[in-house]
Amino acid sequence: MAKRQHAFVRIAVLVAVALAVLVLDQVSKAFMRSYLADGPREFIPGVLGLRLTENTGAAFSMGEGSQWLFVGIAVLVCIAVLIWVALDSSLSLSLVCSLGLVVGGGLANLIDRVCLGAVTDFFATEFIDFPIFNVADIAITCGVVLTLLLWWLQSEGSDSKKDSGGQRG
């Protein structure tokens, strides 16, 4: 019973974070489609501009024209993460939150691909040559980095416990 309750809490946290990212991303894209209809604008001069683009590829416009491949990958990743979160009782809630960022960002871009045929991007860095991106891309990137960091920290913690388990000081 306790394991099922914990699975419910983990899934609820995953869904809440993913839903928050999805809503924030879709609202920002809808706003930017209107706000940038007349052309690009400065946001933070010399640092970040706003320029509307439609991306049919993946991150950094790689694989343009492979829409349905990316749709399939996004669906599989979301299902895999949901199963992992439901079944792995060792996952911390912070790790579940980071996975929620990945799922939310993936679903938000998936909605664009299916409904619009391309992903709406609008953040343009001005101080370096970098692809234009959106809120979902930020969430996915932060989620992947946090997931790897938290997973590494969690495994380091278990290794430390194993190493010091037999020693007395």
> For 35-88, what is each residue's pLDDT tens digit?
999 999 999 999 999 999 998 876 655 666 677 788 899 999 999 999 999 999
pLDDT tens digits, residue range 112-156?
Answer: 999 999 999 999 999 999 999 999 999 999 999 999 999 888 777
Structure confidence at residue 1 (pLDDT): 47
Domain boundaries, the chain: 2-155
Question: With 0-12 CB in 10 A as exposed, 13-18 as middle and 19+ as buried, what is 14?
Answer: buried
Place of tokens 């394991």: 3
The pLDDT of residue 2 is above 60? no
Catalytic residues: 121, 137
User: Which residues neighbour 24 within 8 Å (Cβ) at sequence distance 6 or greater?
Assistant: 135
Question: Which one is predicted more confidently, 158 or 52?
Answer: 52
Structure confidence at residue 113 (pLDDT): 92
Structure confidence at residue 156 (pLDDT): 76
Tokens of 98: 């980071």
The whole-model pTM stands at 0.85
Question: With 0-12 CB in 10 A as exposed, 13-18 as middle and 19+ as buried, what is 143?
Answer: buried
